[in-house]
Chain A
Amino acid sequence: MSMQAASTEIASRTAAIIDEMKGLEGPLLPILHSIQEEFGHVPKDALPVIADGLNLSRAEVHGVVSFYHDFRAKPAGRHVLKLCQAEACQSMGSDAVAGKVKQLLGIDFHETTRDGSVTLEPVYCLGLCACSPSAMLDGEVIGRLDDEKIEEIVAEVCS
């Protein structure tokens, strides 16, 4: 697909989402979540369409998208692994867990492995603080991480 065709495609799918959700009170966040669900990220080409659809300036839309940690400017890896780095997990060695995962995957936080298999992210609390250290893999929760579980996770995301 040519670049222009791709951008038209993004525009039309974005417009459909906006049409569906425009009637909500304060529709921008729900729209952005839907767009990210649709494309795996919030494409740059979607922003002017949102601005037009909601009668906002492009700067306002950009401001909102860039404010929130959840919205990605580019697609994530096939898996997304989030490691909790907040205090309760710190008290149970989340630093060491992160160190080990980074070493096994060969990437740092906010990076994706070269083969596109996994994106690694820190998260500040999953509400699993009585079973720390914890993680979330593609939306599934994992508690009391230990070496065995870490190796299992790494094997799963790399397979």
Chain B
Amino acid sequence: MIPRIYIPADSGALALGAEKVARAIEKELKERGVEAKIVRNGSRGAYFLEPMVEVATAEGRVAYGPVKPSDVKSLFDSGFLKGGHHKRWLGAPDKISFFAKQTRLTFARCGVIDPLSLDSYKSHGGLNGLQNAVAMAPADVVKQVTESGLRGRGGAGFPTGIKWKTVLDTAGAQKYIVCNADEGDSATFADRMIMEGDPFVLIEGMAIAGIATGATKGFVYIRSEYPHAVATMNKAVAIARKAGVLGVNVLGSPNAFDMEIRVGAGAYVCGEETSLLNSLEGKRGVVRAKPPLPAIQGLFGKPTVINNVISLASVPVIMDKGAAYYKDFGMGRSRGTIPIQIAGNVKHGGLFETAFGLTLGEIVDEIGGGTASGRPVKAVQVGGPLGAYFPRALFDTPFDYEEFAKRDGLIGHAGITVFDDSADMLKQARFAMEFCAIESCGKCTPCRIGSTRGVEVLDKVAAGIEAEKNLALVTDLCNTMKFGSLCALGGFTPYPVMSSITHFPEDFKPAPARVAAE
């Protein structure tokens, strides 16, 4: 048997030097005259171990990491092609504690298989869900997704099945499935990882959505900051089309479904679903007022399912193993698993898929291992730039849509940014307003003007100018933005701002040093 070496081509791994490692391994193989097959897999998501190289041995896969190009010679000397011991030896990937503690449903194959091998996808359970779906009545597919309890993983948490039912029940000669892959929130990379590491699962999920709702055309709108994901998705769509997974007869059934990959153009607000639809139509990415719901009048005015990447990528496992299987994971009204992305100043950063219900403290301290800098954790922002900053005092909050809402936070797309005690929360609050000002689509006044005024007022607070009065003004402004904005950009910017003010009041007091520095 020719040995197989897995070297991730995931962007995160590439950013940490995976390409150089791959080249060093190729060179070493050549010099030693050893034959081996190199597979460029996705990442399993433990970025503190990337580049993580794996070797398939008779006893299963053996991982090494983080591998540097300078390690390659000694890896060969240690007989790593047979799983030999080395200082970078990690053992069987499944036994590494970061992976052993996870429940991988959506990300079951990510980092394991060759992302562009449809055979490999099938041999790991791929296409079972779609096979089941093509044999079912559309309403039954919708019912199964509804019963699974799956909620929109993009952030809003709206039940996926209900969205689908609306589209199924709305008559239309043409309906669309739109996948929102405009993953702009800082601390999130789950969409990117799945598109780079297991693109067929997204294609399968979209095809199921098409069959369930009567839509024959799909679009994946990927942000331009993700060139590697765009390239992989384009290749995967071509392969799926050739294999008959997409086309006029999906898997030989009478159902037609095809899709296109579209690239965004650097506008954060296009992650908002109606703004994304406008962008796909070739317009300015301006938010639309709702109603009408996209499910009734969406892309080009037609009934449209618009779902996040992870929502759609979670559908195949639900259609394969059943609604009950998926629903059994989780807590309360948050069912199934959630890929938590642990990021920022953290020791063990990466993607951790698990059932809902872990506490924030368990995620940050136990799984994340605390800060990378070794200093105490001061704040964690959950849910991206529009999410609240939580202090240690709220670390007992379980990871659940409702539990976070109860504490004036949100889980959003499940990204967590850890900050150590050097963080200045006034600066973070100001950034939230500044970011909103940069990215506002300009349609509604509270967002367009409120964010700019917010920056100015917070600058006054920082300068020690009537701090108390100006903080009251910020609070009032946040109230206006929260209730007066059309979409979540203006509406949720108050979360990071107000949580900073509420939980870290000491950072907003006029400090002599701060005044002097101005």
Contact = CB atoms under 8 A, between A and B. Distances in A.
Interface of A: 24-30, 32-33, 54, 60, 63-64, 67-71, 86-92, 123-132, 134, 136, 139-144
A129 B16 contact: no
B505 interface: no
A156 to B, nearest CB: 14
A91 B435 contact: no
Main secondary structure of the interface of A (DSSP, over half): loop
26 contacts: A25-B217, A25-B300, A30-B263, A70-B266, A86-B186, A86-B435, A87-B186, A88-B344, A124-B268, A125-B186, A127-B11, A127-B12, A128-B12, A129-B188, A129-B343, A129-B344, A129-B415, A130-B47, A130-B48, A130-B346, A131-B12, A131-B16, A132-B345, A134-B15, A136-B225, A143-B16
Nearest to B378: A91
B272 to A, nearest CB: 14
A64 B283 contact: yes
A127 B265 contact: no
B262 interface: yes
Given A67-B267, A67-B285, A88 B187 contact: yes
Interface string B178-198: 000001111111011000000
B308 interface: no
A158 to B, nearest CB: 22
Contacts of A90: 428, 431
Contacts of B283: 28, 60, 64
Nearest to A126: B225
Given A124-B186, A127-B192, A130-B189, A29 B225 contact: no
Main secondary structure of the interface of B (DSSP, over half): mixed
Contacts, number: 154
B154 interface: no
A26 B417 contact: no
Interface in B163-182: none
B167 to A, nearest CB: 18
Interface stretch (B206-214, B418-426, B454-462): B418-426
A86 B418 CA distance: 13
A67 B16 contact: no
Closest 5 CB pairs of A and B: A28-B282, A130-B349, A143-B15, A129-B343, A68-B265
Nearest to B267: A68
A26 B260 CA distance: 12
A86 B432 CA distance: 10
Interface in B265-318: 265-268, 279-286, 299-300
B265 A130 contact: no
Given A29-B263, A30-B262, A139-B227, A130 B420 contact: no
Interface in B340-378: 341-346, 349-351, 372
Contacts of B187: 87-88, 129
Contacts of A124: 184, 186, 268, 385, 435, 438-439
Contact of B225 (A91, A123, A130): A123
B57 to A, nearest CB: 28
Interface in B401-445: 415, 417-420, 423, 428, 431, 435, 438-439, 441
B281 A26 contact: yes
